[in-house]
Structure 1
């Protein structure tokens, strides 16, 4: 008599496993694990930095406004033209709308961005003596500047620690099991309770770098991730070395593979040459 076929063993859903670990983990245990993961991110991404090019707080404010629904790469192609023509808040306040729209067109949503920059310039002239303020409450009161943008400006132009909750950061800290939350303000508050304040700005850069290069939205490179042993979502993407290595992106893709204990030769040249996810 032929025995019945074996029933495949159910594989736990990684997101369900992450939720279970979050529910069972003590607050102090979560904090310790988060800090260990933060140290591993620092080791894996020593090159992490703000990927928007700027020289002054005003230039960074403008670049962050332009980065909405656009890639940092595209913004960096346009901002040299913008910065050369509009050097002060007064220049933006007095900008000729049609001309600025033409310059900004490649970044997408150019009409809304033009409006935001003109209003930003006017607000800075009228309320802040033409200078970008260095306080969160003042920044979020400006046209086109939300809390995420304000934290980018504070952390990178004023050296004031801030947590930038963009789409990558939100996705990863949920996968990491640091939070179970979608609201950016709540995520910021909860992560702030896990990580020392002095590390907030660089943590944001490192998590975003990891999201663009390793922990992609649809298929993360779990099998080539230095955080694998601490991540409750391990298995969301391929766990075999060859399959995961092919998903790594960016100029340091092979270094990232080696850092995770994976043969760097498994990373194809096209991955090294490919731009990171936006």
Structure 2
């Protein structure tokens, strides 16, 4: 038998039981199975199984904790390590704070309210050049209500490394100048929609136009081919009262914005 290829019995059974008019399909299946068997016997590296979304959740008397990220991130070892460290440190810090709060409440005679930390990453763009991920985190530490925060990770597939949104800009000042007017218009439109009346500009942050560069900027794609918009995610209290929640101000890539992107990254953005 030395030097001969042993074809799996299942393949022979398929061939024996199949009608003659399906012989071509049988032959294809037989050849494919034989090739896989030969690769396995020869030690040929097999493709890695598809990555799966990650989700962690646990609950104790002190803390309810959850952390999740999508399959696209799970396929990149660097991001798996990054998010793993983030989840571990976030949980450790939150648990310590919750235990300290519990001890303080017990000493003062007040009831302790368990804390919670929830973080979920989602894909906002998965193009040939970039993977853009946005996280939404909710933190509750026993007060009247929790707080929501946002973050962004931009993975450069061409260079196989993490970069930052500001790193793709010619300069933050140039990018701010390119987006400020459309940002202010769209923010006021959304404010008016939520409030049921036009915004009258004043000196407070709830009526004046805030600085978009101080918020979370998330590259987004509607077709999975190129980055076609930059979404400015404005958290609670930044542009309106807590009851208004967050604002997602989506700004399509225009000529001014694209000009404020470094040349080496422009191939990842649409041309208006």
> Which TM-score bucket, shorter chain as reference?
under 0.3
* TM-score, length basis structure 2: 0.25
Q: Considering fraction of residues, name the structure with more strand.
A: 2
Select the structure that is richer in helix: 1
Larger Rg: 2
| Larger RCO (alpha carbons 8 Å, 6+ apart) | 1
- TM-score normalised to the size of structure 1? 0.25
